[in-house]
Amino acid sequence: MATDVSRRRFALLAAGGLAAAQTARAQSAGLTARQVIERIQKNIGVPWRTESVDTFKAGDPETPVRGIATTVMSTLDVLQRAAKAGLNLIITHEPTFYNHADDTGQLTDDPVYRHKQEFIAKNKQVIWRFHDHWHARKPDAVSVGLAAAMGWANHQDGDSERLYALPPTTLGALAKDIQSRMKIRTMRVVGDPQTKVSKAAISPGYSGFPTTLRRLPQVDVIVLGEIREWEGVEYAHDTVAAGYSKGMILLGHAISEDPGMAECAQWLKTFLPEMPIEFIAAGEPFWNPAQA
């Protein structure tokens, strides 16, 4: 008799759990893109700025969300993969329309721009940029994600997620290890491959010259996403020519910040557990002719 009661109790609990899960799924299915972003704003943990690029870039914010894709750059290729996966809210770290402000004034008659807009409309996609506030969190998940992808997670130097104390190695060996771990086709390196390195700084994404000017004297090697060649790269080149044992490694913009948007997908799942959420890598747009 007791066994029957236990079985009935278990069945009731299971049915209740299933009903709760179905209710949660039904609620998530009713969330609009705007409501998802409102949840992000409530959970971000930093004050929301009125002046920011973190706004909707395409699509109707009132569109019901079937699933979320995070990415560093909402390229057409990324949008196509998101559509195939049934994900219609794309949270992108970088611009969608080729300039920081996503100003489309000069693109009105451009066939590539029109094709992208038509694809977004056809697939009922909504694109929202998540740049300023994602970087503003402490620690910066973009830097943390890159360090983890390079195998540096346990080598942070002090409180800064941008400074690392690595096991002693050479610039050449370090570059090869990063290239292998992150599967980079077109990494570029400034400096003597035999240079001894252990102190490192990272700066994912785009870095202005002040970053190199400030960081390179403090460390043996600086790892960047991208930088103007006639600014920071020239300075690093001159530093080496002046006899300093320094190195610079350029990963590529998207490659350097992709891991941070993978971190974003995991973070979103903590307060949108009922919503399908996937990270879609923008990846590396370049290829090496020697490897073709």
Q: Sign (positive/negative) of CA torsion 89, 225, 188, 228?
A: positive
Distance CA 61, CA 259 (A): 26
CB 255 within 8 A of CB 5: no
DSSP E strands: which ranges in 131-246?
Answer: 163-170, 188-190, 196-206, 221-226
CATH T-level fold of 146-251 = 3.40.1390
- Where are the chain's structural domains? 31-137+257-283, 146-251
CATH T-level fold of 31-137+257-283 = 3.40.1390
> With a threshold of 0.85, does the pTM exceed it?
yes
Asked if domains 31-137+257-283 and 146-251 share a fold, the reply is yes
Distance CA 216, CA 214 (A): 6
Tens digits of per-residue pLDDT, 44-90?
999 999 999 999 999 999 999 999 999 999 999 999 999 999 999 99
Residues 6+ apart with CB under 8 A from 25: 274
Q: How confident is the model at residue 291 (pLDDT cuts 50, 70, 90)?
A: confident
CB 68 within 8 A of CB 91: yes
Q: How confident is the model at residue 24 (pLDDT cuts 50, 70, 90)?
A: very low
What is the crossing angle of helices 253-269 and 141-149, to 10°? 110
